[in-house]
Structures are given as C-alpha cells and as structure tokens.
Amino acid sequence: MVQTYQKHGPTQAFGLVCSSASNSQFDGKLAYVPALEDVLVWDVKKGHMVAMWHETGHRAEVTCILRSPQRDSFAVGYADGSIRLWSTDTGTVATTFNGHKKSVTALAFDKRGTRLASGSQDTDLIVWDVVGEAGLFRLRGHRDQITSVQFMTASELPSTSTTTASGLLLTSSKDTFLKVWDLSTQHCVQTVVAHRSEIWTMDIREEQDLIFTGSGEGELKAWKIDRESLSKGLRETEAGEVHKIIHPICPLPLSSKHRVSQILFHPTQPYLAVQSHDRSVEIFRIRTEEEVQKKQLRRKKRARERKGQEQDKGDARNAGIEQEKEDYHEVLLVDLFTPHLVIRASGKIRSFDFGPGDTNVRGGTQLLVALATNALEVYSVPQPQRSKDTPEVTRTYSVDLPGHRTDVRTLSLSSDDQILASASNGSLKIWNVKTTTCIRTIDCGYAICSTFLPGDRHIAVGTKNGDILIYDLASSSLIETIQAHTATIWSLDVGADQLSLVSGSADKDVKFWELSRKVGTSEGYGKLTHTRTLKMTDDVLSVRYSPNGKLLAVALLDSTVKVFYQDSLKFFLSLYGHKLPVLSMDISHDSKLIVTCSADKNVKIWGLDFGDCHKSIFAHDESVMQVAFESNSHYFWTVGKDKMLKYWDGDKFDNIQKLDGHHGEVWALAVSHHGNFVVTGSHDKSIRIWEKLDEPLFLEEERERELENLYESGLADTLNRENPPVGNGAGGMRGDVTSEVEATAVTKQTSETLMAGERIMEAIDLADGERATFQNYAEAMSKLPEDDAMRTQPPPRNPVLAAYDLEPDLYVLRVVEKVPSTALEDALLVLPFGKVISLMGYLNEWAQKDMNIPLASRIIFFLLKTHHHQIVANRIMRTALIPLRMHLRAALIRQKEIIGYNLAALQYIRRRNTSNRTAQFYDELDEESVRAKIAEGKKRKRVNIKT
C-alpha cells in the first residue's frame, strides 16, 4: 500500500516591522514598507498594522516600492524581476508586469501615472503602459545595475517624432553614467560620466531645473537642466553636435564622506535630505536668491561697521551703496543649499521618505525613517527659526515592538502550544500563536537557547556569557540570574520527570539543575538548584534527555555524540561519523531513535540500543542548524543555513516535503507538542508557522511536481537566454546584431506564459479538430442523394464545446480572452507557425462577427510584426490575410464611427451643461439680490478723490 503523509503549508510571516531589501513610502499617516515578500501598511501613530499585501504562492522579496500619482495604486518591484501594481482600496494585484531577468532596483511614474519606467540589476530599462497593461519597449545601454530613474518633463515638451510617447527619461547606474533617453525616438541622447565611482542615488527638483547625484565615494554633485534644450527637443549646434541637456554645476559639501545612499527633495517645502552616513540624514534648507543676496549685503555691512570707517554719514551711505555694487558676487549653489540640521536614528537607516506636502500641527515637516534593524521611526523637522539657537529634531513615533532588532536565535513553545517565546540578542518576546501578536517584550542578554519550565509560567534563557536567566511571564520580569557557566550556554533541556534541567556549555561542562516547586502549589517554578556537574573533554554544543528518562545525549565539538545513563552518569555509547560538529539532536518519543544534524550538511539517524547508524542523509546545501522529532512519530524536521525547512520520514529515510519561504539562514526550530504545526525563526528576523493541512501528500506526485517545475523553469530560462532573436523579426536574420540594438521589445517567458501558450494551442487543436470532423461529414453527405438510406446523423459535438455551448471560433476567443493582458504577447510567441496560420483564420471570423475587435487588432499586429518573414514567404497566407484585412478594416471603421458619435454626444452634453450653469449664474445676479448682499456685507470704505 502507498504510504501517505499530511501536507504542511505556510501561514503568514510575523515578527516583521520592515525588511531592508527595499525603500519605504510615507503619506503622513500610513507607512508602506517591505516585509520580505509582502508589503505592510502601518499606522505609525497607533503602531498597528492596517493591511498586508500578500500574494499566495509568490516568494520573491520586495526590492522597490513607489506610489502612483493616481494615489490609489502602488508599483512594487520584486527580486524575480516582476512588478505588481497593487490597489490600496482592495489590497489586491491589479496588474503584473514581467520583463526583467533580475531584481527591480528603480521605479518611476510619469506625471499622470499612465507610464511606468523600471530599472533593474540586469542593466535594462523598461517603459510600461499602465493603462494598456503592456511593455512598450526595453532600452539597453547601461553596463551595470540601474540605481535611479526619473521622468523629465517641460512645459509643452515637443515630440521629436510622430509617436505619442514623448518625454525624456533620466537614469543613473553603478557604471558611473547618467543617461538621458528620448522616449519618442527610443534612444539615448546624452551620456555623462558623472562620478568616479558608482552612482547610488539621484533626484530632480520639482521645478525640473536641478539634478543631484550621490556616489559611493560620498560625493554629492549638482547638475543644471537646460530648459531651452528641453523645450526645443533634439537639435544640432553649429559644430554639428546634439545640444546637451544636462550641464555640471558644482559639488555640494557634506558632513561625512560615506556613501551617499539616498537623496530626496521635499515635494512642497524648501528642503533637501541626504543620507550619507549609516545612522543619520542631513537636511539642507533651500533658500531663494533674494534671501541669499540680502544675507550677503547684511554680512558685508556688518564687516564694514566692524572696521569702523570714520566718514561722514551721507558719504558713508553713498560709498556703501557703491561698495555693495562692487562687492556683489553671483549667488553660488552652496549659498542656496545651507545645512539645516542632522537627524540621527537609533539604528542603521535603510531608507527615508518625507511626509505629505503640508506641515503638521506643530509647524514641522515629518520624515519617516525605515531602519535595517526591523523598526520604523518618524521625526519632526522644525521650521527654520529667526533665533541663533540650533533647531531640535524630535522623534514623534516609532514602530519597533512587533519584531526583534536582531536575528531570532531561539524558539520555544508552551506545553499547550498556545504561547511562543522567541529570543534574540537584546530581547525576549512572547507571542500568541493563534493571533501571531506580540504579548510581551522583555529585555535580555544575548540569548542562545531557551525552554519553558514546567507549568508554562516561567522561561529559562541561556545566554552567550554563560548565565541562565529565569523570566516570569505574568509580571514580564527577570526573577533570577544564575551564573551557571563561564562560556556560552549552547543548549538547555527539561527532563521527562519535569523536575530536572540540564545545561551544556562551551566551558566543557554539563550541569544538572533541580526544579523545586513552590510550596503549597501543584505547579510552577520555585527555585533552580545545582545538583551535579559532568566534565567533558570538549565544548558541549547540545544536550538532550531521552523521553523515557534513562539516557542523556551530549554533542561535543569533536563531532561525536556521547550517550550516558542519566542516573549514574556512566558512559553508554559513543556516536561518531560526522565530519564536523553536531549542532543539534533529538530523541524520538519511544527513545529508540536519535537523530543528529551537523555543520557537514548531513543528518544521521542512529539506533539508541546499540548506537548503530541507520542512515546518513545529505540533507541541506549548507550547515543543518536544528533538528526535532514530531510528537509520537518517527517523522522529523530539519532547518539549515540554505534557508530551507525539510520534513523527513525517520523509518523510510524519505524527504517528505521541502518548504522554502525564509530569505535568510534559519537558526531556530520549534515543533508543536500536538504535532499540528512547526515554527521557524530566521536571520531575516521573521518567524513563520507551517501548519499541517488536511490534504494528503503522495511522495511520487510530489517528486513529479518538482521535476515539472524544474523543467518549466529550465525551459523558460532557455527561452530567456541573452538577447535571442524574436521569431524571424528584424533581428533574426542578422546574427549578433540584436545584441547591439538599443531599443527592443519587452518579452520574458515564465511558466505562466508557457502554460497560457499551451492553453491557446490546445484550444486551436480542439477547434480545428471539430471543424475537420463536421467538414468531412458535410462532404460525405453532399455526395449522397437526399433520400439515400446511407445518410446518417451528424457526428456528436466535442464534449467541451457542448458543455460551454460554443462554436469552435468562439471557444478559441474565450480561451484567449482569459490570458492576462500582460502575458498575451509572450504566450503568442510560444505558438508554432502552423498554429499562427489557424489563429489568423479565427481572427478573420472574430472581425466578421465584431467580437472583441481591440484584442483581435492587438493579436494580428503582434503576429505580423513577429512572423513577418514567414508570412511574406508563404503564399497560402495571402488567401487568409486579404479577407482578414477587409473584415478588420470594416469592423474598425464601425468602432471609430461609434466612438466619434459618442464623443460628439459627450461634447454636446458638456457644452449644454456649461451654458446652463452660466445662464443660472447670471439669473441669480438680479439687482435686488445684489443690493441685499451689499447690505449684509461690511460697511464700504469711502475714498475722497481729489482732481
């Protein structure tokens, strides 16, 4: 009989405030921050999560977040190169764009939010049509990761060609270049070597006159945008060169020489914020030229007064004015941008964002700071003061309690599986397992291991400096500190009798402690008293009692595991075979098996009766950090530095399930006492619960699914190889010329597009088969006379078409319509040329029947562009294309007439509405009402006019 197992599935990750792989956005009240593969929306004032944007099954980390000018949608870029447009109202994905091969690093919307530009680690720049849900074109030219993208606009910016996609794009990259791209001609019109090292950030002032760039060497440079060149478009100078759009001005001095990682202009206030140090943001105040000139004149006047020139007052005034004219210097950029203040955060800053344009009640501007330590802080930047006192920055809000500042190093569950304790360097947190909310946060040392004490009212934590800390959950307080060891305590375990505790440390000691109960109570911790010490020859990395209370297993730094009798501490077995130290181990519920995991990436299963190794399994690609048996079974769990959680059968030695979800090394593991779920804690600071589902799992099916996924991803990677010639298009006939093309089409094959292409092929096959069957029947019947006895009933319809009650051409349309708009062109690339010819026939029929003409037009345009050479060379296609041209043109003319009629009607309604409102306005202004209004108003001021 085939062995079945229970499948496990992930629930949402918790313990995260924000992750450090992406920037954050702030609207004055809500902070939109990355949390590994999700986006969290925090109310910073209340400190609670408003929403979580999570897409089921999507694992790639968030790398870029940008709010659309439409305000109700966000563009989010991911590490797998995809971009999703999230709706803030519904918290769902509106559109998915797939075009980049590596993670998305920069995003920019144009002013209306109808176009989106994305830059990536793969050095490509892609412009997307947000409304049409399609990639417009891909621009190549940079040689390293694109770090920033900005749209450049000018009033009445002309297009240099007849296309509608006019405008300019400015990009910066790690290859030290600033590039200006003309979107109408789809070419780079200016390249500037901006810095000697990587450009990490760039921003354009709202007035579109200044650009600031920041480099890896800590240099901040200013650049001027030539408005005349912007407004007149591409033109040549007398020397025959193209007019330059960007001109260098000068560098701006900063207080530190670290890498400039972010530059941001405030949308409305005169502020520029620059982050060049790990923990601080420097705020510059932007002055106007008039302010600077007044300041210069005041300074010179004071200087002359100090010199004490003794002249006649009238002469002095005249001389002063002349002197001022002589001394007047041109206002420099350094004078316009003056340091205002520095914001120092409590941890390393990952990104920051200004609040909305208006100032808050206290007259300051809000700045959100997202820290790399899994926390958010909001600072209030005060307005410039007249007095000489330096303005004070105040931290108004912070969100840090729902997560750890450092890696989660240890997890432990209460005996009823209701409460989870997680500890890291600096804090111990208690979580409600059902709601995943943080109930308690307690300060602690550098925690390495932890365990609930009997009664679940106290927790023992082993620290790096050798102390055992006892915490009381009810009062959230440290009630006892025991200086147990002189070095790191690597492991703690409570005995089966619930009266003893054992600790293993790097000081080569195993110490035994007795848990005394409180007087007069049936449960609860009284005091921890040291009873015995077992001296070992090496550092102790793990200790474990056997559930039957007879044995104690001790893992040492010399890669062996020693097993002792618990009562007498006599030596019983030595388990050797690992090449590197055993980091963790566990003993099964029946005390028959012991499983050990090691830094040598192997897991070994041993028998506890003779110490024989049943099986050695190469379990993970990196060190295996922890292992634990599931309750009342021989199934066990392992976690490793390869970010994986794996489920194993300890009797058959099969890998039941691989669960990936963490984005960092998994340090900690806790298995539920009832076997319902497993909890993991990671270097990415997240805690995840993996629940047992009702769904059965068959190993053969699981392996088949893994192979299918591997094949599909391999096929997609092959199709996405570097610069492939698409179809037999323009680049297909010219060898390697495609790699030199600056602008190309946006294509990327994924498993979804491959499946969509296969579905279209299946639909075309089914429809062609149905037609062929009925055509053969009609031909056979046409040869027989009407009253012939050989005439038969028509053949039965295809069950699928009968179920949907659709004709073959309408069924193909139904399948094509279900393909997402963003994946349609990639799906059509999958079709072989034979299927393209069949699809042309169906397009003709859709055009005849007026069925979804925009979709039919888009498909025919794409197919003609892609398969141009075969279509031209193929004579048969002429018979298909001539009727298609006729029918499609007629359908488009009909649509144009309908749209023109509707537009005319809407314009007429608007004109009538305007005239009605105007007439109503003048009707209200009769003489009596005007006199009444004047009488109500203030008394008019009388003015005497002298002639």
Look at residue 659 in the predicted model and tell me its pLDDT: 92
- The vertex-116 CA angle with 111 and 119, nearest 5°, equals 125
pLDDT mean across residues, the chain? 86
Q: What is the pLDDT of residues 497-526, one digit of tens each?
A: 888 999 999 999 999 999 886 644 445 566
Identify whether the C-beta of residue 237 lies closer than 8 Å to the C-beta of residue 190.
no
Banded pLDDT at 159 (limits 50, 70, 90): very low
pLDDT for 3: 81
Reported pTM: 0.85
pLDDT band at 331 (very low <50, low <70, confident <90, very high): low
Give the Cα separation of 542 and 561 in Å (integer): 9
Q: Between these two residues, 12 and 443, which has the higher pLDDT value?
A: 443
- Condensed to tens digits (0 to 9), the pLDDT of residues 21-45 reads 999 999 988 999 999 999 999 999 9
Q: What's the confidence (pLDDT) of residue 466?
A: 93
Cα three-residue angle 418-422-425, rounded to 5 degrees: 165
Max Cα–Cα distance, the chain, nearest Å: 134
Residue 642 pLDDT level (bands cut at 50, 70, 90): very high
- Identify the CA nearest to 686 among candidates 670, 666, 658, 672: 666
Mean pLDDT of 896-912: 94
Closest alpha carbon to 823 in 748, 718, 720:
748
How much is the pLDDT for 746? 85
Q: Which pLDDT score, from 0 to 100, does residue 874 have?
A: 78
What pLDDT shows up at residue 899?
92
pLDDT value for 616: 95
**Residue 737, pLDDT score:** 41
Query: Between the CA atoms of 917, 922, 926 and 932, what dihedral angle is there, to the nearest 10 degrees?
Result: 70
For residue range 377-427, what is the model confidence (pLDDT) as tens digits? 999 888 877 656 667 888 899 998 889 999 999 999 999 999 999 999 989
Q: 679-716: b or e for each residue (b if 16 or more CB lie within 10 Å)?
A: bbbbbbbbbbbbebeeeebebeebeeeeeeeeebeeeb
Alpha helices in 378-435 (DSSP H): none
The predicted model gives 349-375 an average pLDDT of 81
What are the CA-CA distances from residue 641 to residues 495, 600, 624 (Å)? 29, 12, 7
Predicted pLDDT at 518: 60
Q: For residues 638 and 625, what is the distance between their CA atoms, to the nearest angstrom?
A: 8
What type of residue is 572?
A: F
pLDDT at 941: 56
Q: Can you give the pLDDT at residue 418?
A: 93
Q: Are 497 and 549 in contact (CB under 8 A)?
A: yes
Q: Which residues pair with 554 in a beta bridge?
A: 543, 562
154 CB-near residues (< 8 Å, 6+ apart):
208, 227, 230, 231
What pLDDT digit, counting tens, does each position of 676-719 carry?
A: 999 999 999 999 999 999 888 888 888 888 888 888 888 777 77
* CA-wise closest residue to 223 among 206, 211, 213: 211
Tokens standing for residue 332: 């420099």
pLDDT at 364 over 90: no
pLDDT tens digits, 529-558: 999 999 999 999 999 999 998 999 999 999
Per-residue model confidence (pLDDT) at position 163 = 40
Q: Report residue 917's pLDDT band, with 50, 70 and 90 as the boundaries.
A: confident
Is pLDDT above 50 for 909?
Answer: yes
pLDDT at 149: 95
Please tell me the predicted confidence (pLDDT) of residue 731.
41
- What is the per-residue pLDDT across 43-89, written as a single tens digit (0 to 9) for each? 999 888 999 999 988 889 999 999 999 888 999 999 999 999 999 98
What is the share, in percent, of the chain residues with pLDDT greater than 70?
90
36-56: b (≥16 Cβ within 10 Å) or e: bbbbbbbebeeeebebebebe
What separation in angstroms does the CA of 106 have from each of 110, 267, 606, 663, 760?
14, 19, 52, 21, 34
